[in-house]
Amino acid sequence: MTTGHVFIATSLDGFVARQDHSLDWLLKQPDAEDDDGGFAAFMDSVDGLVMGSGSFRTVLGFGQWAYTKPVIVLSSSLTGQDIPEELKDKVRLSSAAPADLMQELQEEGWTRAYVDGGRMVQSFLRQGLIADLTITTVPILIGSGIPLFGSLDRDIDLQVDSSRILPTGMIQTTFRVA
């Protein structure tokens, strides 16, 4: 089956965005022009993205479409009308269950899917659909927001593959689901 892979930034207290989806705390961090934290290489390694409606709205808000790979928006509330005309060939809506979606994507030839956004990551993790997570920890506490992780039925053991301090002063660690 297609495997899920996470590449995400969180505050030190574990939030991927403020409650209103704002990323000001992340965007104010210093840039490192010559080091993208491995993002381009990660993007090259996936066949496409899976995100929820919250992340999709945030990305739409950037004004400029950031992805060259196909994007699946997993949502039971959005309809085709919520996808702007110019994105119809780049974005596909699905209301499938996560495991069914990964089966479908497998049949379409996807090997690796980038699973993005707090709610999606939680849901795919709970169902054992995530193979690894690259988490970039931003050295800031924001106190509240949308958490990367959520409740679980059972513990999930991971293994650290690699960890480094980025030139921006963030910590980037790759965890493999054990």
* Stretch binding a second copy (CB under 8 A), from 38-46, 64-72, 80-88, 154-162: 154-162
Told to check if 20 binds a second copy by CB under 8 A, we report: no
In this chain, which of 25, 42, 65, 67 binds a second copy, going by CB under 8 A? Answer: 25
How far apart (Å, rounded) are the C-alpha atoms in residues 5 and 117?
12
Among 54, 143, 146, 167, binds a second copy (CB under 8 A): 143
Q: Is 32 one of the binding residues for a second copy (CB under 8 A)?
A: no
CA 81 vs. chain centroid, Å, equals 24
DSSP H or E stretch at residue 174: strand 171-177
Among 61, 84, 128, 139, binds a second copy (CB under 8 A): 139
From residue 40, alpha-carbon distances to 15, 65, 67 in Å are: 23, 15, 11
- 175 is a site residue for a second copy (CB under 8 A): yes
Question: 91: Cβ–Cβ under 8 A, 6 or more apart, which residues?
Answer: 56, 70, 71, 72, 73, 83
- Note the residues at the interface with a second copy (CB under 8 A): 12-14, 25, 125, 135, 137, 139-144, 148-160, 163-165, 169-171, 173, 175, 178
